[in-house]
């Protein structure tokens, strides 16, 4: 990623819609772009508590929510709630939708709209230009008819760069865990490894992908992982999953069932760093009959 971020070109939002966002316990919904957005939400208190520790006065009265669009695998949402209003982002698998107040967006709109400053509006990145500062991420060729300075293209380029960075130092993995984003990072790594193995020039290559135990214990992540394996049959016997102990496995039966499912899909399983974290011998007895173990050298 470029470190010399140049002066930003004025972002342009070519279209936005005013929405009435209704929320109840664990759920929010609104209509926009000719469709219904129904969100299943859960409190993201772990991330909020860390932020509050550093900014206790500033964040009083705020809540953080994470979740996904109902019935859309691979989607995600991150919302901030304050004084009954929501801001944040929603990814539906194809485009990123930004939820904000009209006051935050008004100066960037190129298409006038009638709204009060506190009204909630939604726009999608594919309807924006120069959403990220010039030089913030690499410029890739335009795709799907979108210009290189289209906000969605810029976002995809940024995510691609972060995926590359994520293969580096362990501190970046730890940061992803702390920000409760480790499952997104793990899935990006798995998909990148599978893509490499599917290349004709790599037909004899074997590669491993690390998976945090915290990701493994999330049903949505586990379901998507099994789906990836179903569509990656050509890599049978050449893909290895290394389950790290940076977050403890709490449900051994669920972990055992998932490990067996991955092995049936043709993947090898390795329990990486056994002995350096919180895993017990119960973990070893119940999960390891169908997995390899790699002992830690740090102790």
- Other Cβ atoms closer than 10 A to 160: 15
Banded pLDDT at 219 (limits 50, 70, 90)? confident
Rounded to an integer, the average pLDDT of 94-110 is 94
Rg (CA), the chain: 21
Specify the higher pLDDT residue, 162 or 67.
Answer: 67
| pTM attached to this predicted model | 0.52
52: Cβ contacts below 8 Å, ≥ 6 apart: 59
The string of pLDDT tens digits covering residues 225-269 is 888 888 888 888 898 888 876 445 667 777 778 888 888 888 888
Q: Where are the domains of the chain?
A: 12-128, 169-295
pLDDT of 95 over the 90 cut? yes
Give the DSSP letter string of 188-223: HHHHHHHHHHHSGGGTT--EEEEEEHHHHT-HHHHH
pLDDT at 137: 53
Query: From CA 28, how far away is CA 66, in angstroms rounded?
Result: 11
The encoded tokens of residue 167 equal 């293969």
Residue 277 has pLDDT above 60, yes or no: no
CATH tag, 169-295 = 3.20.20.450
């Amino acid at each position: 990623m470029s470190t010399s971020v140049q002066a930003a070109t004025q972002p342009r939002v070519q279209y936005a819609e005013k929405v009435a966002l209704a929320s109840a316990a664990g759920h929010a919904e609104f209509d926009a772009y000719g469709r219904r957005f129904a969100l299943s939400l859960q409190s993201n208190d772990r991330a909020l508590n860390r932020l509050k520790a550093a900014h206790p006065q500033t964040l009083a009265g705020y809540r953080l929510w994470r979740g996904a669009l109902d019935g859309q695998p691979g989607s995600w949402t991150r919302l901030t709630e304050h004084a009954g209003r929501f801001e944040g982002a929603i990814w539906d698998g194809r485009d990123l939708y930004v939820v904000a107040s009209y006051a935050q967006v008004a100066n960037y709109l190129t298409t006038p709209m009638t709204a009060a400053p506190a009204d909630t509006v939604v726009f999608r990145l594919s309807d924006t230009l120069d959403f990220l500062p010039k030089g913030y991420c690499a410029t890739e060729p335009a795709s799907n008819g979108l210009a290189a300075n289209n906000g969605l293209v810029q976002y995809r380029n940024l995510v691609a760069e972060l995926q590359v960075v994520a293969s580096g130092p362990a501190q970046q993995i730890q940061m992803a865990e702390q920000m409760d984003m480790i499952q997104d990072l793990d899935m990006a790594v798995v998909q990148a490894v599978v893509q490499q193995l599917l290349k004709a020039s790599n037909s004899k290559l074997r590669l491993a992908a690390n998976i945090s135990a915290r990701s493994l214990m999330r049903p949505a992540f586990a379901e998507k992982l099994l789906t990836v394996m179903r569509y990656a049959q050509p890599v049978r016997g050449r893909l290895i999953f290394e389950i790290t102990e940076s977050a403890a496995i709490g449900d051994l039966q669920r972990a055992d069932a998932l490990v067996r499912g991955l092995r049936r899909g043709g993947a090898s399983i390795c329990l990486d760093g056994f002995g350096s974290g919180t895993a017990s011998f119960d973990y070893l007895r119940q999960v390891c009959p169908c997995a390899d173990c790699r002992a830690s050298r740090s102790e």
